[in-house]
Structure 1
Amino acid sequence: MFRHVKAHLASLLLTLALASGCAAQSDAPFRLIVTHLEPPLVPNSVMDLAVALGYFEREGVNVELVRVQQTPSALAALQAGEGEMANIGVDALLQAMAAGAGDLRAVTSPNTSLPFLIAARAEITDLTGLGGARFGVGRIGSLDHTLSRLVLERLGADLDASEVISLGQPNIRAQALLAGQIDATTMSIGTWASLPDHSGLHILVDQDAYFAAAPLVNKVNAVPAAVLAERPEDVAAVIRALIRISRDFAADPALWVDAMSAALPDTDRTMLETLAPAFAASWSVNGGLSADALDYTANWLFDTEEFAGLSTPALLDWVDFAPVDAALAALGVVDSMDSADR
């Protein structure tokens, strides 16, 4: 039944030990490193909102968010012991593993597929118009850069034919697009919706077409082996909280709208109500760790230039299913959304 979970007896024992959904084990802060400075307008917001709405507290774990900008800073902070868990790109995790950081494991993904789209100046009417255009990315090799290259390749275009410009966070890229400093960029549907004015802009590749071209697991929550060994119940409690809040938002999108309105009071509520239906299939109600999707993602990444000459690691060398399976043993599996295949 579980193809991949034959590996480690310790993982199986951990699953059994935590299956009852027992309380967390420590009053010490459990520091969760995130790469956004405020709750983002995407399902990844569950991490912020689980703090604000008391989901972590009810599981008995004292979660503190550590905010940094972009995955490299999150990964560095995690490896420096400045947090117990970090929400990072799968590509960055696998690059770290290839560089010798063999103690890191993905344990959940609160938002496996960020709802990305490519927005452009109105005069770029189709993908051929990206040739020679200024295309903004977070940084060369960043998640948005890598995924957009894949998407455009599969849609018959070539990102390398554009002038690729590193600009940083999505909101900065969006403002640069609005100001005419770049001609196109990738952003989440939430960032697009939050722009004050779409005049002169349009969506060149919508979120459905983007995901269809790149059905990858984008981000995971990773922990070091020492955290898994020393604070297993805290890890399980964090995962249970994230699953519970994801299920509540999936069942009633208005709860997400209310929570985001409270967290970002200056945000237009009508815009949030427009966004909520776009996330209907995006909540990680089973913890976001599909073995098939993770295998597909790793195999694709190791075929890219960034991983040239490296061998694709076995799934259980970088993923530990035991904590999420413990949470699902306590909460049950919801069959309608993200797969819990193993």
Structure 2
Amino acid sequence: MTRLFALLALALALAPPAMAEPFRLIVSDLETPLVPNSVMDLALSNGYFERAGVEVELVRVQQTPMAMAALQAGEGEMANVSTDALLQLVARGTSDLRAVMSPNKSLPFLIASKPEITEPAQLEGRSFGIGRVGSLDHSLSGKVLASKGVDVAKLDLVPLGQPAVRAQALLAGQVDATTMSIGTWTAMPERDSVNILIGMDDYFAAAPVTTKVNIVTTETLETRRAEVEAVIEALVLASRDFQDPATWVERMVVARPDVPRADLETLAEAYRQSWSVDGGLNREELKVTTEWMYGTEDFQGLRPVSLEEWTDFGPLEAVLQKLGPAAG
């Protein structure tokens, strides 16, 4: 019997260590998106997570509410969600969620108009297509236009729904201007017939709002912190590589063969300054984000929340100390 126990002990000692469970990253895109958020898909398919020493599995859901629910139900360790949804949960009493990075902190919005409108001030008294009153495109664009000296009270707002519908309405001359993403702009068949009134970089400069973040639970931070840092490291390194437009295009040609290469090249140039090369969390931008969101209709009556209640900069700071700042 003693010999049997000895053999069992030897077998256990020589057996390979049990594999850790994959680190599940919840994303709300059902395929690789045509925005910098594609870095999460591309980091997986191009070996960035593996090189950082973490096994990652993507869990795909539709939209932030499902991503948030999946994370809270234990179906993943990290989730990419909208900042406003996170803030609302925290304001209502949720205390165990923390933003640790943002792989795509800003929506790539621009404002397009009829070609005869060349200055934002010319929009006063004109029709402006929005998703709905109080929607993100409506409230953000109001902030952008106000910074350009436009009296937004003088806009004739036309609720139209989705960006593609608004873009079509602009092409058809049904509205004078509207907000859309650079991806929607690129997909427009006759985009040369309309004008980019406020470009993507100018839009973000006027409204430096962090709209998406990657969050984890405080339990995950305590029990799997090394993997959290490894995921952040992989996404930062991938983002730095994708600053080179040609690199992103080559990866996306494989991930999205349905998209014309010329469109990918246009998007790559537009995103040159949009990659989260230092992790995407900036204290000043997050303060601006919180202040702006609390001025919108969705936050009326909610208690103010401090930055410490919904962010943890520790993992990102550890990664950046290891990697150093991005070139340039």
Q: 1:291 aligns with which of 264, 280, 283?
A: 283
Matched residue, 1:259: 251
Letter in 2 for 1:265: P
User: How far off its partner does 1:188 sit?
Assistant: 2.0
- Normalised by the length of structure 2, the TM-score is 0.81
User: Could you say which structure has the larger radius of gyration?
Assistant: 2
What is the deviation of 1:179?
6.0
- DSSP 3-state at the match of 2:276: coil
- CA displacement at 1:88 relative to structure 2: 2.1
Equivalent of 1:98 in 91, 94, 98: 91
Residue in structure 2 matching 1:239, options 232, 235, 246: 232
CA distance, structure 1, for counterparts of residue 191 and residue 110 of structure 2: 14
**Once the 2 structures are TM-superposed, how far is the Cα of residue 260 of structure 1 from its aligned partner?**
1.1
* 1:109 Cα deviation from its structure 2 partner: 0.6
Which whole-Å CA distance do the structure 2 matches of 1:73 and 1:126 have between them? 40
Match of 1:269 in 2: 261
**Bigger CA drift: 192-201 or 100-109?**
192-201
Aligned CA distance change for structure 1 residues 164 and 61 (closer, same or farther; 3 Å): farther
| Matched residue, 1:10 | none
How far off its partner does 1:217 sit?
Answer: 1.9
- The Cα offsets for residues 250-302 of structure 1, whole Å up to 9 and x where unpaired, read as 2x321101011111113222232233232222211111111222122223322
Q: Determine if the alignment matches structure 1 residue 33 to structure 2 residue 23.
A: no
Residues 264 and 183 of structure 1: is their aligned pair in 2 closer, same or farther, counting only changes over 3 Å? farther
Partner Cα distance (2:56, 2:264) in 1: 28
Q: Distance in 1 between matches of 2:95 and 2:158?
A: 32
| Secondary structure at 2:138 match in 1 | helix
**AA partner of residue 242 (structure 1):** L
Q: Does the CA-based 8 Å contact 1:106-1:221 persist in structure 2?
A: yes
Note if contact 1:37-1:67 (Cα within 8 Å) is conserved in structure 2: yes
Taking a change above 3 Å as real, the CA distance of residues 72 and 296 of structure 1, as seen in their structure-2 partners, is: same
Secondary structure of 2:104's counterpart equals coil
CA distance in 1, matches of 2:142, 2:20: 43
The reply to whether residue 112 of structure 1 matches residue 105 of structure 2 is yes
Aligned residues: 307
Q: Tell me the secondary structure at the aligned position of residue 203 of structure 1.
A: strand
**Which string of whole-angstrom CA distances, capped at 9 and with x for unpartnered residues, describes residues 157-204 of structure 1?**
427843342624x45554565566765432222321122222543223
**Most deviating of 210-219 and 303-312:** 303-312
CA contact (8 A) 2:113 2:196 kept: yes
Q: 3-state SS of the aligned residue for 1:117?
A: strand
Measured at CA, do residues 68 and 130 of structure 1 come closer, stay the same or move farther in structure 2, by a change above 3 Å?
Answer: farther
RMSD: 2.8
Give CA deviations for 1:190-236 in whole Å, capped at 9, x if unaligned: 32112222254322322233122212222211122232233222222
Relative to the length of structure 1, the TM-score reads 0.78
What amino acid maps onto 1:297 in structure 2? T
Q: How does 1:150-169 map to 2 (within 5 A)?
A: 150-155=143-148, 156-158=150-152, 161-165=155-159, 167-168=161-162
Gaps in structure 1 of 5+ consecutive residues: 1-24, 337-342
1:245: how far off?
0.3
Identify if the C-alpha distance between structure 1 residues 298 and 194 changes in structure 2 by more than 3 Å, giving closer, same or farther: same
Shift in alpha-carbon separation, 1:29–1:164, aligned structure 2, 3 A: farther
Matches within 5 A, 1:123-134: 127=120, 128-129=122-123, 131=125, 133=127
- Aligned partner letter, 1:42: V
The residue type paired with residue 270 of structure 1 is A
Q: How far off is 1:106 after superposition?
A: 0.6
For 2:219 and 2:135, how far apart are their aligned partners in 1?
27
**CA distances 1:93-140 after superposition (whole Å, capped 9, x unpaired):** 211211222221110011223331012345766555474635132x55
- Provide the residue aligned with 1:5 in structure 2: none
Unaligned runs of 5+ in 2: 1-18
